Amino acid sequence: MSGEPEVEGLLRELAPQVLGVLVRRHGQFDVCEDAVQEALLGAAQQWPVDGVPDNPKGWLITAASRRWIEQYRSDTARRQREEKAVALTPPPPDPAPAQDDTLTLLALCCHESLTTASQIALTLRAVGGLTTAEIARAFLVPEATVAQRISRAKQKIKQSGAKFRAPRDLTAVLHVLYLIFTEGSTASSGDDLVRVDLTAEAIRLTRQLHRRRPDDGELTGLLALMLLTDARRPARTDDQGALIPLAEQDRTKWDPDAIAEGTQLISNALKTAKIGPYQLQAAIAAVHADAKTAQDTDWREILGLYELLTVTAPGPMVALNRIVAVAMVHGPEQALEELSTLDLNHYRVHAVKAHLLDLQGNHDAARDEYEKAAKLTLSVPEQRYLRSRSRRPR
């Protein structure tokens, strides 16, 4: 293993394991996270040139521990620590316990005291092994902004007195992983519809977590949802990056392996676990994946699943998606009537209304709604698609 992509993948895999060892040994999550980042940076520079060491995890733990000691010794505000630090020596090459702390780290990064933006940034750096610059590029924000979010997040965790222990409830962790994936799957701004670096990282982390808790129904549902959604990625844009809606996609380009895995996961979860929102969303995605053509889609089943989702996880976006299914089953008139009662200020409301008006034959009104939607979204591919729909001859 000598190529840079292989080294990058290995470092991302080892990052949470190394951080877990340091936090378990020394505490001080903020100091340990800084030390691990320094070790990862050193490895990223050295390993492609000198080769990956025989024990890469041990190498990283040793390097990070040395950096931790240096930071500990340099704390001039607490000189009494210096005497203790002098006695510290780097650990043997492979002191790592058999226990994997990835789940515990995920829970810590998703601590309730943090904002959602900080949870996402800290998760991608501490658990995902991404650099601050990589996170900034993925979310199209300045690197200084991401660095500030991470720094504040670590301070808040320190101030909260959060314990380093495995969580019982995965709700916050799953929510953050879901947000990372959805931002990558349909980027909220910028020139690209999809940011593969984010979707791939979200799937990798969720799969890693699923290996540790395979019987968790909602975790299984989330992984299935990601796989079934990402399976459509090759067909979602044309060669120029223009958006292609679901009904017009070439389904032969969908990834059959991802569909098979996702369908199997959600089928097993629905049989064995308590039903939750991620499972229901995955089931909807599986119905779409099962249709050979858009005309073959079982919209009645999808509508039934949305009815269940409305009960288990009510919200305006769920209601909006349900209205689309209502139109396909009961017609655009009923859907438009329900849409008029929806309290949601979002570009997709105008996009859905435009689609329903088109189905109804009211093309002039549809054009106006497509233009309104295009003005509200920050995604360049979506803007272009919506404007093209507004100008399309009827």
Please give the structure tokens belonging to residue 94: 């492979």
- Same domain flag for 201 and 218: no
- The three-class DSSP label of residue 378 is strand
pLDDT at 96: 46
- Same domain flag for 306 and 321: no
- Same domain flag for 76 and 8: yes
Angle subtended by helix axes 347-360 and 332-339, to nearest 10:
150
Last residue of a domain, one of 240, 275, 310: 310
- Same domain flag for 272 and 365: no
Q: Is 379 within a domain?
A: yes
Question: Residue 361: left (phi > 0), alpha (psi -120 to 50), or beta?
Answer: left
At residue 393, what are phi and psi to the nearest 5 degrees?
Answer: -65, 140
- Same domain flag for 29 and 114: no
Angle subtended by helix axes 277-290 and 299-312, to nearest 10:
170
- Same domain flag for 135 and 152: yes
Q: pLDDT per position in the chain (394 positions), as tens?
A: 334 778 888 998 899 899 999 998 888 899 999 999 999 999 999 999 889 999 999 999 999 999 888 887 766 445 555 455 544 555 444 444 445 688 889 989 999 999 999 999 999 999 888 889 889 988 888 999 999 999 999 999 989 988 888 888 899 999 999 999 999 999 888 889 999 989 999 999 999 899 989 999 999 999 999 999 999 999 999 999 999 999 999 999 999 999 999 999 999 999 999 999 999 999 999 999 999 999 999 999 999 999 999 999 999 999 999 999 999 999 999 999 999 999 898 999 999 999 999 999 999 999 999 999 999 999 999 999 999 999 887 6
- The three-class DSSP label of residue 111 is coil
Domain that holds residue 147: 101-160+169-207
- Same domain flag for 345 and 364: yes
Please give the structure tokens belonging to residue 298: 């079982």
- Same domain flag for 218 and 198: no
- Give the span between the Cα atoms of 282 and 231, in whole angstroms: 12
- Give the span between the Cα atoms of 219 and 178, in whole angstroms: 10
Neighbour tally for 276: CB within 10 Å: 21
**Residue showing tokens 């090459």:** 93
- Give the span between the Cα atoms of 356 and 359, in whole angstroms: 5
Last residue of a domain, one of 30, 62, 86: 86
Q: Is 131 within a domain?
A: yes
Q: Is 39 within a domain?
A: yes
Burial zone of 148 (CB within 10 Å; 0-12 exposed, 13-18 middle, 19+ buried): middle
Whether 280 and 228 have beta carbons less than 8 Å apart is answered as no
| Total count of domains within the chain | 4
Strand pairing report for 189-190 and 378-379:
parallel
- Same domain flag for 144 and 114: yes
Please give the structure tokens belonging to residue 266: 């959600």
Q: Is 320 within a domain?
A: yes
Question: Residue 65: left (phi > 0), alpha (psi -120 to 50), or beta?
Answer: alpha
Is the alpha carbon torsion for 124, 127, 130, 133 positive or negative? positive
pTM beyond 0.85: no
- Same domain flag for 113 and 185: yes
Q: Is 94 within a domain?
A: no
- CATH number assigned to the domain comprising residue 320: 1.25.40
- Give the span between the Cα atoms of 386 and 323, in whole angstroms: 19
- Same domain flag for 219 and 297: yes
- The three-class DSSP label of residue 257 is helix
Q: Is 93 within a domain?
A: no
Please give the structure tokens belonging to residue 222: 């989330």
- Give the span between the Cα atoms of 45 and 54, in whole angstroms: 17
pLDDT at 318: 96
- Same domain flag for 132 and 188: yes
Q: Is 96 within a domain?
A: no
Last residue of a domain, one of 181, 207, 233: 207
